[in-house]
Amino acid sequence: MLRSMTGFGAASIEVEGVRYAVELRSVNNKYFKAQLRVPEELMALEAEVESLLTRRLARGSITASIRADFGMATQGSVVNKEVLGQILADLDQAVPAGILTRDHFRIDLAGLLELPGVLVQEPVEAVVERSRPVVLDLLEKGCVALVEMREREGEALRIELDGHRAAINERVELIAQRAPLVVEQYQERLRQRMKLLLEDVGGAVSDEDLVREVAVYAERTDIAEEVARLGGHMEQFEQLISKKDGDPVGRTLDFLSQEMLREANTIASKSSDSEISRYIVEVKGLIDRIKEQAANVE
């Protein structure tokens, strides 16, 4: 199946109070190029993120945005349970000592977190290790959504490309049918021209001379080989856009369209027939459309 290079995929989840989100956007590019936007706390995951994208996406400019909202109070931090436990123990001891009564105070958890030593910076390595499986899983889900969108757009491209293929084949068939008639028409025109010229001097048309001139013309304007090669290119083109394995074919389509255009130009240069010329102009226009669309295929 064809895949477009444009698409979008996203996934998000909340784990242990941390909100993680991944967004993937892709646009056309002849090669694979990744632009990563990763939180400072998770910069150590950049290489793994790019490696995963490289495995899943073969071509295109990919922008991967990863967000991790740790919260205002707990961003990259953990609660020091020992300090918090000591504070609560001290408060508990203050009641029997008569300093405080349970009826006169209420514990404010947010306030406790602001006390010195209660909230301590979590080591970066611990943040990365805790976030790695979550981020990579979200990235996989984002890639799945992105590829699904690429495949939907790729199917639309396939239908359009197949229409161009059918139109080219139709004109190539007309050219193949027309080519022998062109030589016959040339032979008849040449016979009439030679007859008129020789009548003035009392001569007659020599079949030998006529055949020799027609043979030279036929060899000079022979397009059978180019028509056959163009037909072969169209068969390969059909096979490529009909593949079901999901392998990238964009670069092959681009190269193949160049070869198709090369054969069409050779046919145009060899043939002086107006009808064939008209067909070739239409074929070249269709090939240009194929080149434009192939630039969108992964």
User: CA 6, CA 8: separation in Å to the nearest integer?
Assistant: 7
User: CA 257, CA 211: separation in Å to the nearest integer?
Assistant: 38
List, for residues 50-72, the tens digit of each pLDDT value.
999 999 998 999 999 999 987 64
Percent of the chain with pLDDT over 70: 69
List, for residues 87-108, the tens digit of each pLDDT value.
667 666 666 655 555 555 666 6
The pLDDT value recorded for residue 161 is 95
List, for residues 167-195, the tens digit of each pLDDT value.
999 999 998 888 777 666 656 665 566 55
pTM of the model: 0.70
8 CA to centre of own chain: 12
Judged by average pLDDT, the poorest of 160-164, 179-183, 197-201 is: 197-201
User: CA 76, CA 70: separation in Å to the nearest integer?
Assistant: 7
